Structure 1
Amino acid sequence: MQRMPMEHAPSTSTLTAALVGLMLLATALLLIANRIKWPFTVLLVIAGLLLHAAGMDTLTGLDSFTRPEVATEIILVILLPTLIFESAFNLDASRLRYNWRAIFTLAVPGTVLSTLLIGAIVGLLTPLPWEVALLLGSVLSATDPISVIALFKKLGAPKDLTLLIEGESLFNDATAIILSKLLLAALLTGIGMPDAVLSGLLSFIIIMAGGITIGGLLGIAFAWIAGQVDDEPFVEITLTLVLAYGSYLLADFLGMSGILATVTAGLVLGSIGRPRLSTSACRYLENYWSYSAFAANSLIFLLVGLRADLGMILDTGPILLAVLLAMLLSRAAVIYGLTPLTGRISRHSHPISYSYRHLLFWGGLRGAITLALALSLEHTFALGETIVALATGAVLFTVLVQGLTMGRLVQRLKLDRPELSHQLMRLEGWISAYWAAKAEVENLKTTPELSTASLDDMLCGLDAAMTRLSAELKTLRVEKIDLETEWRLFLIRCFNIEITYLHQLSESGYLTESAFLRLRASILQQLDALRHDYPLPEHKRLMIRSKPSALLMRCFLGRYEYRSWYGKEEYLEAWGRAQSCGHLLAILKDMQQDHTTSNALIPRAQQLYLSWLNISKARLEELQTTHPESIRSLGTQQLKYLIINIQRQAIKRQVRAGTLTEGIAEIMLRELSGELMHARKEKFSLLPGRIAELLSRTRPQHRSSRYF
């Protein structure tokens, strides 16, 4: 890279101030985006365009970052590993195995099909050579779905659909980068098309397999290292940072796919390494990587605006129109052509509805990868600058036009209406809140200092609000809720209570995080099925561990350690679901006595949860037979958890009472966390009934009226 003359090079303090200013600008834009309901990325690009038009990038020295070679390295080497590792680490691996066929179809064949279609259409409609048109097709095939994912989460779209988009984006980026490198090599060397296809296919497989292998091996190694560290959040965060960039740089150095290496490393660490991390480290990791992803994403889209040369883009004229047409047609072919071939998203779901397909089509935005790949080509061959102008124009079109019209499309498709279950929960939640406020105001009547007239006015206002909400609730039940719909809504709440209860067991140490995540994933599948009219998955099927994950853990732990670990995890999952089913049955019994819910729903729910409880108990008995060495008569491990949690509660009570300072309490809680980590690494044993009875007295109990 050619250095700037010293007299024109911006100082370090100037660049630092410019970067700090960009992050401050991004923060302000995030607040504005939340206020005006615009996509955050759209505002970032617009801000970048305005800064470039005002010449602020030149004044602050930021133009040195927008040079093609520098911008490419910043995006691909510095910012991209952060984004893809954060997404992969937080991806639900337990649900990923149900969606891998659809994800693979969209990410690999879908990207290849998109490349071929864009290349063919651009080659036919423009004077660009066929080789250049195909190269442009590979550059434009990388999608950036961040706005769509945020929209899907806001709309409450099926979680499998959101996972499909996230997974497609992660592997689609890698496929697009590999294709662009292979097509560029063929263009520069002048290899004939048949030879290029044959050698390119072989290289494509090697590069992908190499990246996955490197990332998988490093992920396993770092997961083992993380397990040897006792409650050191900064060390564990540093390990994840080294893994994110180390896997990318090592794979790239060896000529393999750096993106696939980082994606695989993140998936492996998130699935088998996360349970070995301390609880405090998991909280730190979530906050650290969330902010890192926010910062990286902000800088990328600001860079898109700063780098855009509107004059050069407008000069491309008709060619850009042909490129945009080709890009939209190829996206339509992938979404409307390939998604029906994949059938259902997963075996527990229905096919993707046309409303969501329309969103997937129009939400195929282009972003960082497209810009970085285009910039890397600018000085590579004669038409490199044209490629950059066309790619930048395509990115601006998708971000500014498609991104800004997503909201209207959602309204046209009638997907902006809240779910019936959300409306019901909202009304009942407000009624419960008003009842609590009314009870408190009535208690205040005995206070002589307060005016009785004022309290009476407050009570009248609360009664009026409750009357209005009760009328809305009654109208909702009469007009939109039949018996079967009410049953599904009732079961949705039961599942939500289960997840909350299992989370409390995990936080208290009675469940490992891996067991909790698998249990939560199985319940979320059932929850999604109810919300979106899918067939309800069988409880027995959800209790079975998949063969790929079992094989991965066998390789990671070894034969004998795996057998012990398998018995422990399977037992904890069955035990955890049995506990949550028992918890729900107790709540349902209380509700039956209080007559707070339809008499027809409670027996039906009791029957269902009793069957699931029996399935879990049968699984426990099966494990006692198949894994006797992992299941002993004494509950040593759970007893330690019990004692540690009792000590934690006692320390927190002393802090609230003022008999213990927060600093000393923090040290004591840290020591207890270390003991908890050691307890998790010890031999596992079955929880006897007497200790289970004692545990039930220490768990937080929930009044049914707060949930139903």
Structure 2
Amino acid sequence: MLHEYLYIAGGGLLIAIVAAAFSRRTGVAAPLLLIGFGCAASFLPGMPDIQIEPELILSGVLPPLLYASAVRLPVLDLRRNLGLITWLAMVIVVVGALGVGYVVHLLFGVPLPLAIALGAVVSPTDAVAATAIGKRLGLPPRVMTVLEGESLVNDASALVVLRTALVAASAGTFSMGEATASFAWAVAGAVLVGLVVGWVNVLVRQRLADPVLNTSISFAVPFLAFIPAEEVHASGVLAVVVAGVITGHQSGKRFSARDRQVERTNWATINFLLEQAVFLLMGYELPSLIEQARGESSDARIATMVLVVFGLLGVLRFIGVAGPLLMDRRRRPHRAKRMRSRIAAVEERLEDLSPATTQELDRLSIARHRIARHSADVDFAMREPLTGRAGLVLAWAGMRGVVTLAAVQTLPLDAENRATLVVVAVLVAVATLVVFGLTLPFLIHALALESVSPEDERDEFFGLMKQLAAATTEQLGPMEQLEVDGTPLEPELVESLKQRFLPILLGHIQSLRQTKPGLRERSLLIQHLYLDTMRDMLMQERSIGAYSSAAYARAEALLDREEQRLNAGI
């Protein structure tokens, strides 16, 4: 029997790779393909009946999935879109779960706690298919950020509602007051646990030079955040997200280039494998689930429930997106004008100050840094507004995915109408993938949203690198004045570094191998010095946010490549 499951796992991996490649070439959502392949595989002769324990999905699959996405999310973009992300990921999810629950309870007689549980599992959106399409078609970066940030946070809020509903289902009653208090603690406790685990993870790993140990700790972090949070009845998945965001944000200045590259590759692979496996498994189980559901409910009842839930989610999604965007459109110009006036007034007061001590000088520097960040935030809001066309894409990208499929399997095996609820949730997810996923590329083409051109991206990147180089030179002083162990640099070394290293940080120093002893070592030392200083300047500039996250990512990747080259001694 074991070899059969090994064959199935190998075949599933091959199918996942084929589906991903086909999706990238055709634009068809990969989750939809995987569910179809899974359904087809279940009808093959001799295929075993596979049933996965719900707890394994919740505790074993979701934490690494969410962590893999969280470590890649730029904090700068998350901070600037936090209001809209919070609205969509918490308020709309909770309202959607309760609204769907009450309607399903009233129309179909499903017990209220189980109906709310159904609403909870179908409320969170999944950005996998939408972002894959958006990257291929060039959606604006801010739209991508909202989609990714929302899909991270809404998983946590939906699972908190789900857990509260299941507790109420086992007790036989549902109290809104108790549910609200439970939700508040779940969020607060999760943030606290996630912050502690994230910072401990960063502080420990920055002291390790062994990539194997570093990778091992990285694999353990999602579970180290999830388990303690669940033990104190907080949201384990939200704790995982917070720990991942902390780790990703701090990795730029606390991890080595090699560790960052290894972590990106490892978690991208894990994310791909787990996502594909969940969709494929759900497609494999779908035919048997439909048969079980037919034993509980008629086809008409199931179809009607799917249409009702799908319609409610669609209406709520469009209203939830339109409301904040309309308010922002009306208030944005006045808010920007008011903020710029305040910034100008504060800058005038700062110019009149004459710090007399080092402490006062540090406080003045911090104040100027904050003013620069606020000014960059205002410029960003005016430069990249979420227009009506962008809002339509956000609303249309309300596809359900891996969390819906994973969470619905956590319904108790002895729950009333369990098979019906599972099938309804799966069919709703499939319907969103079909209706929205297949039409989203055409909508994006029709709306002709303005994206950042390659030329603008390149110009922004070069502008950032020039600014970093200028700040580094100002920090260290002219290269001719630098000394190594009290000895000034040789003129030929200064000239080589200026011509080959400083302009774009990609020059090679192979010719130095043939020069006198010690020259190459001093060259590497100076390059490391400039590289470390430039990375500090990058972190400072990123905390302000005058450039896009894409430009900061490209700059960090360039510095990482140069660091790895220097560490290799080439």
Same fold (TM over 0.5): yes
Distance of 2:44 and 2:74 partners within structure 1: 44
SS of corresponding position for 2:132: helix
Distance of 1:117 and 1:33 partners within structure 2: 34
Distance of 1:405 and 1:300 partners within structure 2: 23
Amino acid aligned to 2:6: T
Residue 349 (structure 1) aligned to one of 381, 385, 408: 381
Q: CA deviation at 1:174?
A: 0.4
Distance of 1:225 and 1:77 partners within structure 2: 24
User: Deviation per CA, 1:413-456, whole angstroms, max 9, x where unpaired?
Assistant: 344xx86945xx5xxxxxxxxxxxxxxxxxxxxxxxxxxxxxxx
Residue equivalent to 2:196: 217
> Where does structure 1 lack aligned partners over 5 or more consecutive residues?
1-9, 426-488, 503-574, 583-616, 625-632, 658-667, 686-699, 701-708
Residue equivalent to 1:228: 207
Residue equivalent to 1:22: 12
User: Deviation per CA, 1:586-628, whole angstroms, max 9, x where unpaired?
Assistant: xxxxxxxxxxxxxxxxxxxxxxxxxxxxxxx7xx79xx9xxxx
SS of corresponding position for 2:71: helix
Residue equivalent to 1:497: 462
> Where does structure 2 lack aligned partners over 5 or more consecutive residues?
333-376, 515-519, 538-561, 563-570
Tell me, yes or no, if the aligned pair for 2:131 and 2:144 is still in contact at 8 Å: yes
Distance of 1:142 and 1:635 partners within structure 2: 58
Q: CA deviation at 1:217?
A: 0.5
Distance of 2:17 and 2:64 partners within structure 1: 19
Tell me, yes or no, if the aligned pair for 1:76 and 1:372 is still in contact at 8 Å: yes
- Cα pair distance change 1:94/1:635, threshold 3 Å: farther
Residue 320 (structure 2) aligned to one of 331, 334, 339: 334
- Cα pair distance change 1:122/1:207, threshold 3 Å: same
Q: CA deviation at 1:396?
A: 1.6
Distance of 1:224 and 1:635 partners within structure 2: 32
Please tell me whether residue 377 in structure 1 is matched to residue 411 in structure 2: yes
Task: Name which one, 1 or 2, has greater alpha-carbon Rg.
Answer: 1
Amino acid aligned to 1:53: F
- Cα pair distance change 1:279/1:116, threshold 3 Å: same
Tell me, yes or no, if the aligned pair for 2:318 and 2:395 is still in contact at 8 Å: yes
Distance of 2:24 and 2:219 partners within structure 1: 30
- Cα pair distance change 1:353/1:14, threshold 3 Å: same
Please tell me whether residue 268 in structure 1 is matched to residue 246 in structure 2: yes
Amino acid aligned to 2:422: V
Distance of 1:364 and 1:294 partners within structure 2: 21
Residue 281 (structure 1) aligned to one of 237, 240, 259: 259
Tell me, yes or no, if the aligned pair for 1:378 and 1:384 is still in contact at 8 Å: yes
Residue equivalent to 1:303: 281
- Correspondence list, 1:392-403, <5 A: 392-403=426-437
Please tell me whether residue 109 in structure 1 is matched to residue 91 in structure 2: yes
Please tell me whether residue 35 in structure 1 is matched to residue 25 in structure 2: yes
Paired-residue identity, %: 24
SS of corresponding position for 2:123: coil
- Correspondence list, 1:301-450, <5 A: 301-309=279-287, 310-311=290-291, 312=293, 314=299, 316-341=302-327, 347=378, 348-349=380-381, 351-415=385-449, 421=453, 425=455
User: Deviation per CA, 1:645-702, whole angstroms, max 9, x where unpaired?
Assistant: 98x97775699x9xxxxxxxxxx99xx89x959x969xx99xxxxxxxxxxxxxx9xx
Q: CA deviation at 1:124?
A: 4.4
Residue 74 (structure 2) aligned to one of 92, 108, 120: 92
- Cα pair distance change 1:493/1:379, threshold 3 Å: closer
Tell me, yes or no, if the aligned pair for 1:110 and 1:334 is still in contact at 8 Å: yes
Amino acid aligned to 2:409: L
Residue 251 (structure 1) aligned to one of 223, 229, 238: 229
Residue equivalent to 2:42: 52
User: Deviation per CA, 1:305-334, whole angstroms, max 9, x where unpaired?
Assistant: 112134547461322222222222222222
User: Deviation per CA, 1:528-587, whole angstroms, max 9, x where unpaired?
Assistant: xxxxxxxxxxxxxxxxxxxxxxxxxxxxxxxxxxxxxxxxxxxxxxx726359x9xxxxx
Distance of 1:269 and 1:185 partners within structure 2: 32
Distance of 1:379 and 1:202 partners within structure 2: 27
RMSD (Å) for aligned C-alpha atoms: 3.9
- Cα pair distance change 1:258/1:497, threshold 3 Å: same
Query: How many correspondences in the alignment?
Result: 459
Distance of 2:83 and 2:199 partners within structure 1: 24
Amino acid aligned to 1:210: G
Tell me, yes or no, if the aligned pair for 1:118 and 1:133 is still in contact at 8 Å: yes
Amino acid aligned to 1:45: I
- Correspondence list, 1:106-185, <5 A: 106-185=88-167
Distance of 1:365 and 1:296 partners within structure 2: 18
Distance of 1:256 and 1:233 partners within structure 2: 32
User: Deviation per CA, 1:480-538, whole angstroms, max 9, x where unpaired?
Assistant: xxxxxxxxx6xx65313224x36xxxxxxxxxxxxxxxxxxxxxxxxxxxxxxxxxxxx
